[in-house]
Amino acid sequence: MPSADAQCATADGGKSSGDVVIVHANGPGRFFLGGNQIDGPWTLAYDHGRLTVNGYTLRPRPPQPPAPPNPARKAETDFIHRVEARANSLRGSDLTVAQRVHQLASFCMADSLTAVVDTSPGAVMLTTRGGLPMLFLLTSVPKTGRTISTDELRRMIDEKDDRKARIEHLKRMLEKGCVVFIAGSGFEVTTLRVGEFMAAVDKLRSGVEPDSTDRITIPRWVKEQIRRPLPLDQIW
C-alpha cells in the first residue's frame, strides 16, 4: 500500500516547471488511485502527462482486445455520441463556460443511462450505468469545420494550464472532505461521503458485497478496483 511519506524532492507547491505541474493538498477527504488508497497530505502532480500522487502513478496497461458488441453496449455508445454531439454544440455557442457545463450536466442527468455526473471548471465528468467513465471539455476550441472527437479532446486537455486546473479541482474536493477515485483509463473522479464510502470499502475488502440496506451506491468499476487494486509505479 502506497504511503503518504513518498514525496517529490523538487515539489514547489502550486507551481509548475517544464513538463511537471504540482499542487499540494491536505484535508479530510480520501484518495484512491486505481483502487490503492493513498493517505494525505498529498502531492498531486502531472509529471510528463502522467497523474502522480505522492510519487505514485498508474502503471500503463497493455492494449486490451475490443469487447464483443452487444445491445447494452450499443445503447451506451449511442448515448455517448449524443452527449458528445451536445458538448460540441455547446462549445460552439455564445454561452459562458459555466452555462455550458450546467446545460451538459443537466442533459446527462436527464438520461436513464447516466449513473454519476460530476463537474469541474470547464468540464463535465460522466459515468454511465455500464461503468464507462467519460470527460467532456466545454472550454472554447478553435473551429476546424469538423466534429471534434473525444480522443482529440483528451489530447487537448494535456495542455499544462488545464492539467493544473484539474489537479486544483482534486485538491478542492479533498479539502471539502470528498472521496476522489482515479481509475485506470484517462481521468475519472467519483466524489462521495467519506464515512459511508469507507464503510462500503471495508466490506468490499473483506469480501462482503454491500447490499440494498447500505446508503451508498458504488459503480461497478470502482468495486472491481477496490477488490483488486491496479499496479502502481513509484516514479519519485
What is the pLDDT, as a whole number, of residue 67?
Answer: 67
Name the one residue in this structure whose C-alpha cell is 513538463. Answer: 19
Q: What percent of the chain has pLDDT over 90?
A: 30
| Residue 234: pLDDT band with limits 50, 70, 90 | very high
Q: What percent of the chain has pLDDT over 70?
A: 75
What single string gives the DSSP state of each residue in 89-129?
Answer: HHHTSSS-HHHHHHHHHHHHHTSTTEEEEEEETTEEEEEET
Query: What torsion do the CA atoms of 57, 59, 63, 68 make, to the nearest 10 degrees?
Result: -80
What is the pLDDT, as a whole number, of residue 12?
Answer: 36
Q: Which of 2-6, 16-20, 111-115, 228-232 has the lowest mean pLDDT?
A: 2-6
Let me know if 108 is exposed, middle or buried by CB neighbors in 10 A (0-12, 13-18, 19+): buried
Greatest alpha-carbon pair distance for the chain in Å reads 53
d(CA 172, CA 166): 10
**Whether pTM exceeds 0.75:** no
Q: Which three cell numbers stand for residue 204?
A: 468490499
SS3 224: helix
What is the pLDDT, as a whole number, of residue 101?
Answer: 93
Residue 103 — left, alpha, or beta (φ > 0 → left; ψ -120 to 50 → alpha)? alpha
pLDDT (tens digit per residue) in 100-142: 999 999 999 999 999 999 988 888 989 988 888 888 889 865 4
Quick check: 32 and 179 in contact, CB under 8 A?
Answer: yes
